[in-house]
Each structure stands twice: as structure tokens, then as C-alpha cells.
Amino acid sequence: MVTECVLPLIEDPTVMDNLQMAPHSEDYLYHHSVDVGIIAGCLGLWAGRPYREIEELILGAMLHDIGKTLIPLKVLNKPDLLTEEEMNLVRFHSIRGYKFLKQNTELPRSILLCALQHHERDDGSGYPLSVREDKIHPYAKIIAVADVFDAMTSVRSYRRRATPYEAVETLRREMVSKLDTQICTIFIDKLSQRFVGDVVELSNGQQGEVIFLNRFDSTRPMVRTREGDFVDLDKNRNLSICRMLHS
């Protein structure tokens, strides 16, 4: 699947648009695993990593949440807030995934570490071991970025789907101390390049097209509304892009 399906996709410049166009409300774990494989592969490619590494990275990304297959579905798919006990069970998925791969496969340690470390954060605020930046495998750092982005922009029952603009805002905030700064910068740059032409809905209900990016903050572009008004989101700070529409 890595070499025949995912690897050819990551060279397609429209791959991220296509991911956004294909919302999946069912089988989240499966779609999330494939999506994170594709996004992590793109990030590896954009970061200039060699193909041998990109293949490993994609495999690690597709297996990163394998530990979740060992959690009861009624907990995994629970639409309400989890109890503390259920939360601990879910958080345990990184250790369970690591152990499962170690005991049942002969995959390299780098791939096992993707399952173990994708919720670790550079400042030590992650889990399960709260290790810091220098102890987190580079693949796990890339997968963490892909995971945050995909989780936010996916369709889930318990919250509104975030737009890529909101996801970029989160990446920008988290790259200061939690996520890999270089990977986030590359990702934000690539995503922003495709913002012009997006048809969006603003928080006041107006709809329009992104026509011009603000040089310092791509998440607050100039929008031409259907009524023909120009709304500069950099100046109208009380407004934001809250939904993507397909033209």
C-alpha cells in the first residue's frame, strides 16, 4: 500500500486539496491512518528527505494509531466526553501500539517509535513518557504535525470541522514550543500557497472567494464576497473564515 498507493500520491500538487474535499464521517481510524500516511509522506518529501526514509515514514504514519485497534469500540467511538478512566485507556494506545508492533512484527525501531512517540511534544508536555525534543524520533515529530492537522480538519461527531485556516493557526501556535518548527513552517508554507481561490464562509455568514493573501498571516486573507465587497480579514479582526465551500 505504501509503495503502490500512497507514494505516487504525495507527488501530486493537489493532494492536500483532495484530502480536504473527501470528508469521511465513518471509519475514522482507518481514514485517519491513511490520511496521516499521505500527509506525513508529503512533509517528508517537502522537507527533502530521501525516498528510502519517506517510505519508512509513510509506513510508520499509517501504523501510528495501531494501538487504538486494541481499545473497545464503544470507548473509541463514544460521542460524549470521556471519563478519566476512558481517557487513560485511550492515551495508553501509544504504548499498546508500540508493544504490539514489537511483539508481532519485525519492523525497524524507527517505525515502532512512530507508534510510541507521536503524542510526545518538544517541551515535554506530551505522553506517554513526556520526553523532550532531543529524545523524540524525527519521524514521530513529522507524524505529530500530520496527526494534529488531520484530526482538526476531519469530520467528527463531537465538534465542528476546522478549516485549514484554523489548523494553520494552531500549527503556528504549537510550533513555538511543542511541534517541530521547521516541519510546521514547511507545511504552513505549502498549505498557504493554495489558499487563493478558496470559496469560504465568514463568521458573519457572508460567502466569498479568497483573492489575496496577507503577507504576514496567510490565515487572514482578503476575501471578495458574493455581494462584491472586499473584506480584509487582517483589518477585520472580529471576523474569521469558519467554513470551506466548494465552488
Contact string (CB under 5 A) for Fe ion, positions 101-140, x = contact = ----------------------------------------
- 147 or 169: CB nearest Fe ion: 147
Q: Smallest distance, Å, CB 151 to Fe ion? A: 9
Does residue 79 sit in helix, strand or coil?
coil
- 65 or 150: CB nearest Fe ion: 65
**Cα angle 164-155-28, degrees, rounded to a multiple of 5:** 120
Q: Does 65 bind Fe ion (CB under 5 A)?
A: yes
Which of the ranges 63-71, 132-140, 187-195, 232-240 carries the binding residues for Fe ion, by CB under 5 A?
A: 63-71
Q: Smallest distance, Å, CB 220 to Fe ion? A: 30
What gap in Å lies between CA 39 and CA 190, rounded to an integer? 12
Which of the ranges 22-30, 62-70, 101-109, 207-215 carries the binding residues for Fe ion, by CB under 5 A?
A: 62-70
- 52 or 159: CB nearest Fe ion: 159
Q: Smallest distance, Å, CB 199 to Fe ion? A: 32
How many residues lie near Fe ion (CB under 5 A)? 1
- 92 or 240: CB nearest Fe ion: 92
What gap in Å lies between CA 107 and CA 194, rounded to an integer? 36
What gap in Å lies between CA 161 and CA 125, rounded to an integer? 25
The per-type count for the chain, helices as H runs and strands as E runs, is 11, 5
Which of the ranges 42-50, 60-68, 160-168, 193-201 carries the binding residues for Fe ion, by CB under 5 A?
A: 60-68
Q: Smallest distance, Å, CB 147 to Fe ion? A: 6
Q: What own/partner pairs with CB < 8 Å and gap ≥ 24 does 154-163 have?
A: 154/23, 154/24, 154/28, 154/31, 154/32, 154/35, 155/23, 155/24, 155/25, 156/28, 157/25, 157/79, 158/79, 158/80, 158/81, 161/23, 163/200, 163/241, 163/242, 163/243, 163/244
Q: Smallest distance, Å, CB 238 to Fe ion? A: 35
Residue nearest to Fe ion (CB): 65
Nearest to 218 by CA among 143, 168, 184: 168
Q: Smallest distance, Å, CB 83 to Fe ion? A: 19
What gap in Å lies between CA 175 and CA 188, rounded to an integer? 11
- 46 or 92: CB nearest Fe ion: 92
Q: Where does this chain bind Fe ion (CB under 5 A)?
A: 65
